Amino acid sequence: MSKHSPSRQAIIDAEAHFRLLAARLKDVEVEEAQAASAVEAARMALKQRFEVLNACEKDRHALADAKHIAHQTVDKARRAAQPTEPAEGSIIKFDTPEADRERPYAAIRIDGRWYATGQTGPANGYSWDDVMAQAIEGSYLVVYRGES
C-alpha cells in the first residue's frame, strides 16, 4: 500500500501527469519549430525557383526581341542587296530551289506586277519582293529591259 493518504496520492499523481503533459508540450513545441523551419525552407526554395523562372522568362523575352531584331536586320540587308526592280515590260529569268534541283522561270512586268511562267500563280501576279523571295540569290538576270 501507498504510504501517502489518498488525497496526497492524488496530488502526487496529478503532479506526475502534469510533468508528462509538460514534457509532451515541449515535444510538440519542438515539432512545431521543426515544421516552421521546414515550411520556411520550402518557402525560400519556392522563392528561389520563382526567381529562376522569372529570370528565364526575361531571358526568353530578350531572346525573342533579339530574334526579331535579327530578322529585321536580315530583311533590311536582303532588301538592300536586292536588285532594283526593272522597268515596265521587262522580262527576267531566275531560278527557284526545288527538292532535287533548281528550276528556271521567266517573268514579265505588266502594270507593276510580275507574271511568271511554268506555274499557276495569283491572277493579279506577284510583287517584286515576292519574285525576289522565290529567286535563288544571284540567279536573277534581266533578259529584256522594258521602257522606263
pLDDT, tens digit, 9 for 90 and up, residues 80-104: 777 788 899 999 888 888 778 888 8
- The β-bridge relationship of strands 141-144 and 91-97 is antiparallel
Positions of the chain with pLDDT lower than 50, given as ranges: none
What pLDDT was estimated at residue 124?
87
Q: What is the DSSP letter of 102?
A: E
Q: Where are the domains of the chain?
A: 1-81, 91-144
Q: What is the pTM of this model?
A: 0.45
What pLDDT was estimated at residue 143?
77
What pLDDT was estimated at residue 34?
93
β-sheet bridge partners, residue 107: 92, 116
- Which among 125, 130, 132, 147 is positioned nearest to 84, based on CA atoms? 132
